[in-house]
Structure 1
């Protein structure tokens, strides 16, 4: 089983490396992320849950790592994440079941860290 808190830390380190290698691109990506998640008609938690559902359907391990973490920081409960997984399964079929399991494993590991 993947260790999601460690994976999150490792991804953050590599994001910094990318930022050094291509600062304009990563600054642009950071600005896009910030603008997209900023509360508006939808709150940040809802937007993180949407991002998680998409991450599951496109089968992006790193995205699952980030968006489970960020959804929990934004106040998402385990039940809300589980329902997000359910919608991702609806839209993504069998492969989304496997990646949905990964999302729930990440929830469990982040909960043990106190999120």
Structure 2
């Protein structure tokens, strides 16, 4: 919704003893597409190999931001990616019109009756 895309993500982990570890990853294509960003963030976290670490803070930062109109998107024959992008656009429009938190996973909404 900010009208920007990111070219890289940086994950900084602060441990209980206040030491820090930082990992960065450049994206294959600049994007603001939530599933692509979430997958990259998960890969960064997994690459740390944390097992029973006492983590105090996780900070994820979008780096090298650019205006969204400068983006290009690699076309594929995979219809799933196209559907996810259309769904994300519709969810962004609904949130802009009705406010944040109006959409989400069905399991998070209270049951009727």
TM-score, normalized by the shorter chain, greater than 0.5: no
TM-score by structure 2 length? 0.29
Higher strand share: 2
Q: Higher Cα Rg: structure 1 or 2?
A: 2
